[in-house]
Amino acid sequence: MTELLLILVSTVLVNNVVLTQFLGVCPFMGVSKRLDTSLGMGVAIIVVMAIASLATWLFHYHVLIPLDVGYLQTVAFVLIIASLVQFIEIMLHKTSPALYRALGIYLPLITTNCAVLGIAVLNIRKQHSLLESLAFSLGAGLGFTLALWIFAGLRERLELSAVPKCFQGTAIALITAGLLSLAFMGFSGLVKV
Amino acid sequence: MMTAILSLGAVALVAALILGWASRKFAVVIDKRETEIVAILPGANCGACGFAGCASYAAAIVAGQAKLNRCCLGGNDMIVRIAAVMHMDAHPPLPQKALVLCRGDNRATVMKYRYLGLRDCNAAQLLADGPKQCPDGCLGLGSCAAACPFGAIEITVGDLAVVHHERCVGCGRCAAACPRQVIALVPVSAMVHVLCRSHAKGAQVRRYCDTGCLGCGLCKKAVPEAYVVERFLARVDYDHADQAAQAVAVCPNHCIIDLAVHQLEKTEAQATL
């Protein structure tokens, strides 16, 4: 149990997907203009990441390994994740139109998100058990949401401040992201992995 | 080799089967009229109709929960076309434009303090009711300009918001964003306006603004049916505004403006350069 908690905390704070491993930086920059859309994207990432890493874990150890075709890992994972996201999208459109509209373009964007695929592959590389990979992917999703949420708050605030002309737009956003990453370095001694 | 082809093919087959089954099982029925109306609507998602966006407005029309004339953007043609889709009669609304009811830029008014905070009127208003001596004047930090989906509002060099009427569609988002209610929606046909919202007494207005309404009533004396003076503030009665232009010259503080002769957005922008 402590093992799982440790994995969870270390992936949320210490090894934050975006801010220390720079996975999934594209939505981190792209969907962080407003607090509410960033939260929607975060929830979508958490759900997809958790389901996808469970599915890919099961697939890897029960299909790829017994059949001795481990080298198909990347293409098989991409296929599984893409179909999963498509399935979730169809389900959501029927069962919860409001959430479907709120997520909008972000849901299909997740199919090719490197954070989702990265976490699935890392689960195999680090030889996690099923429960560990669930904790790992949940932590990664939560960490992503936390980073995205904080960053969106900063950018909303930034929009109202007098930014020097040459820094305006993407430049100041990237600088802010760098400072946020610097702040997250402070967590690096929290958990000994 | 074979195992690779077969296993990957099997995954793809299973995924395709599940997706095919799901798309039938969870199919969403969309009213054909809804897609047609979405295609007719301007697609600006400005929210002036009171719905979250053009798609939600279209859904509300089809469901019979909204009138056809809520969209102020597309004009009469669009409403007639929506009415044709719905087989209903069209009732075009009265067109309106936003207008900033203040001419007190930073040369005409006196400041309370120098504001260095967030570039947002709502934030400035929280700090001792704003940096301007006048409690009703435009703060000029651009909350309205940020709220405008059409880029119709400009902040002049003198820190005053000015609406460019050729771009304004009258959605009213700026009026809702303004913490001081300086922006009003006025009929497009009306040309003469009183550009002040302050109910303060004349002597008080004189102390902090060169161009505020004193409530002296000279305009009402000149054209009695076109003006209303209440609590030291004059306004144009837009229902009887035919003769209102005659009073423009009598206003001692020049806060009555005739847009037919006086292009506000140009003069304000140039005056402050």
- Supply the DSSP string of chain B, one letter for each residue: -HHHHHHHHHHHHHHHHHHHHHHHHTPPP--HHHHHHHHHS------TTSSSSHHHHHHHHHTT-S-GGG-SSSHHHHHHHHHHHHT----PPPPEEEEE-----TTTB-BSS---S-S-HHHHHHTTT-SBSSSSS---S-HHHHH-TT--EEE-TTS-EEE-TTT-----HHHHH-TT--EEEEETT--EEE-----S-HHHHHHHBSSS-----HHHHHSTTTEEEETTEEEE-GGG-TTGGGGGGG-TT--EEETTT--HHHHHHHHT-
Answer whether A80 sits within 8 Å of B23, measured CB to CB: no
Contact between chains at B19 and A87 (C-beta distance less than 8 A): yes
Which residues of chain B have a CB within 8 Å of the CB of A59? 11
What percentage of chain B has pLDDT greater than the value 70?
96
> What pLDDT is attached to residue A166?
92
Tell me the whole-structure pTM to 2 decimals: 0.71
Report the gap between the CA of A177 and the closest CA in chain B (Å): 21
Q: Which residue has better confidence, B96 or A143? A: A143
Mean pLDDT of B140-169: 90
Q: How far is CA B267 from CA A138, A142, B53, B156, B249, in A?
A: 59, 54, 35, 10, 17
For B117, nearest residue in chain A (alpha carbons): A161
- Range in A12-16, A35-39, B36-40, B208-212 the model is least confident about: A35-39
Q: What angle (nearest 5°) sits at the alpha carbon of residue A24, between those of residues A21 and A28?
A: 105
Residue B65: per-residue pLDDT: 84
Inter-chain CB proximity A160 and B118 less than 8 Å: yes
Q: How far is B130 from chain A (nearest CA, A)?
A: 16
Q: Is A91 in the B-facing interface, judged by CB distances under 8 Å?
A: yes
**A to B CB pairs, distance under 8 Å:** 56
CA–CA distance, B252 with B40 (Å, rounded to integer): 49
Rg (CA), chain A: 18
Task: Sort out which chain A residues have CB atoms less than 8 A from B15's CB and list them.
Answer: 79-80, 83
Q: In this structure, what DSSP letter does residue A161 have?
A: S
pLDDT of residue B273: 44
pLDDT exceeds cutoff 70 at B267:
no
CA distance to B20, B108, B125, B127, per residue, from B118 (Å): 52, 23, 11, 11
Q: Do A79 and B123 touch (CB under 8 A)?
A: no
3-class SS at A119?
helix
Which range of A12-21, A139-148, B57-66, B238-247 scores highest in mean pLDDT? It is A139-148
Mean pLDDT in residue range B255-263: 85
* Domain annotation for chain B: domains and CATH numbers: 32-86 (1.10.15.40), 96-271 (no CATH)
pLDDT for res B161: 93
B113: exposed, middle or buried (Cβ count in 10 Å: 0-12, 13-18, 19+): exposed
- Chain A residues whose beta carbon lies within 8 Å of the beta carbon of residue B22: 87, 90-91
Place of tokens 């704070």: A13
Tokens of B154: 């400009």
* Candidates A71, A90, A97; nearest CB to B22: A90
Matching residue, tokens 């702040």: A183
pLDDT at B225 over 50: yes
Query: In the block, which residue shows the tokens 């995954």?
Result: B11
Tokens 């760098």, residue?
A178
Structural domain spans, chain A: 2-189
| Sites in chain A below the pLDDT cut of 70 | 192-193
Q: What end-to-end distance do the CA atoms of chain A give, in Å?
A: 15
pLDDT at B272: 47
User: For residue B177, is pLDDT > 90?
Assistant: yes
